[in-house]
Amino acid sequence: MREILFRGKRVDNGKWSYGSLVCWKTDGGDSRCDIFSQGLGNGVIPSTVGQYTGLDDKDGRRIFEGDIIDCPRFQCTLVVSWNNGGFGNFDYWGNDIEVIGNVHDNPELMEAK
């Protein structure tokens, strides 16, 4: 069975929170999200929420939606995203892929060189 895990940046301190995702609409129509790991969460920024792909990089680091990965086999850098019902076939990209950052903390990694 695949592990279902999410991460998101906390509203109160900007640190990453990992666990189960719950989102809802307030009476005013605003979207709110929270991630619960143990006990109550502290609220996360909805635009930073990403799901774990179920795969790890060459160093055993979990790969999440929104991560920026380096693919030496094809000499490219990619952003992990949900597409056509999945995260893509990482076997195609090789077993030497490496998470080098994410779009929220390291947007400069995706700037054209």
pLDDT (tens digit per residue) in 24-63: 888 888 888 888 876 666 788 989 999 999 889 999 999 9
CA distance 92 to 45: 32
Q: Is 52 helix (H, G, I), strand (E, B) or coil?
A: strand
State whether 102 and 82 are in the same domain.
yes
Complete edge-to-edge strand list for the sheet that includes strand 50-56: 31-36, 16-25, 6-9, 50-56, 62-64
Same structural domain for residues 38 and 72? no
Q: Are 92 and 106 members of one domain?
A: yes
Please give the distance of CA 8 from its chain centroid, rounded to a whole number: 8
Residue 20 is part of which domain span? 1-48
Together in a domain, 108 and 64: yes
For residue 68, what is the domain's CATH number? 2.30.30.290
Q: Which of 26, 48, 70 is the last residue of a domain?
A: 48
What pLDDT was estimated at residue 86? 75
- Verify that 41 and 94 share a domain, yes or no: no
Q: What is the rounded CA–CA span in Å between residue 61 and residue 64?
A: 9
pTM: 0.85
In this structure, the answer to whether residues 73 and 102 fall within a common structural domain is yes
